[in-house]
């Protein structure tokens, strides 16, 4: 019978599609970072908080994305690129300086909310990035920090946080 041949042809066809898919390369661009525009240059970010943001958020919410090996292999590459582009569009620590004051407050309260509700980091990201799996204490530290920075802004202090008190 020709079952064997049919199977072989199917495999060849699938293989060809997978190979062709590799030619569709999504953007893995890391736009340049202007140090004057970063979150750090507008808020007080203790080293502990900076390290949590680096571990759990940086890849999707900054221009300093570390692109994993699977971001080079379609179709995973398309999904990763999409999440990073979407993530940056909604919240970008490298371009924080572009947000007006009201927007910064909104983003800070969004961070508080997302970390408390555990909607961020995106749950699907964690299995491949175990370091992003924040402990309860780390979530509390991060959300308290966001709240504190939002309150500092509401306190009428200068938005830079450098002139507080």
- Cα(31)–Cα(109) distance, integer angstroms: 26
- Cα(22)–Cα(77) distance, integer angstroms: 9
Show contacts with ligand HEC in window 62-121 (CB under 6 A): 83, 86-87, 90-91, 107, 110-111, 114-115, 120-121
**Is the distance from CB of 56 to CB of 121 less than 8 angstroms?**
yes
Cβ-based nearer residue to ligand HEC, 1 or 137: 137
**Is the distance from CB of 150 to CB of 113 less than 8 angstroms?**
no
- Any contact of residue 39 with ligand HEC (CB under 6 A)? no
In the complex, what is the shortest distance from the CB of residue 26 to ligand HEC, in angstroms, rounded to a whole number?
Answer: 14
Cβ-based nearer residue to ligand HEC, 7 or 132: 132
- Any contact of residue 26 with ligand HEC (CB under 6 A)? no
Q: Which stretch binds ligand HEC (CB under 6 A): 15-23, 43-51, 52-60, 155-163?
A: 52-60
Cβ-based nearer residue to ligand HEC, 56 or 153: 56
- Cα(154)–Cα(144) distance, integer angstroms: 15
In the complex, what is the shortest distance from the CB of residue 25 to ligand HEC, in angstroms, rounded to a whole number?
Answer: 19
- Any contact of residue 54 with ligand HEC (CB under 6 A)? no
- Cα(56)–Cα(117) distance, integer angstroms: 15
Which residues are CB-contacts of 50 (< 8 A; sequence separation ≥ 6)?
40
């Amino acid at each position: 019978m020709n079952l064997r041949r049919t199977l072989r042809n199917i495999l060849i066809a699938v293989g060809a599609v997978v190979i062709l898919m590799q030619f569709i390369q999504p953007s893995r661009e890391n736009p340049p970072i202007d140090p004057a525009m970063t979150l750090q240059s507008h808020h007080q970010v203790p080293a502990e908080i900076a390290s949590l943001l680096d571990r759990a958020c940086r890849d999707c919410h900054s221009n300093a994305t570390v692109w994993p090996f699977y971001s080079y292999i379609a179709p995973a590459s398309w999904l990763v690129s999409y999440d990073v582009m979407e993530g940056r569009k909604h919240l970008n620590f490298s371009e924080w300086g572009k947000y007006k004051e009201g927007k910064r407050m909104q983003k800070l309260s969004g961070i508080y909310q997302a970390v408390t509700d555990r909607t961020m980091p995106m749950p699907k990201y964690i299995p491949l990035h175990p370091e992003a799996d924040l402990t309860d204490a780390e979530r509390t530290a991060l959300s308290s920090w966001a709240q504190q920075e939002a309150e500092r802004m509401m306190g009428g202090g200068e938005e830079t946080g450098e002139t507080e008190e």
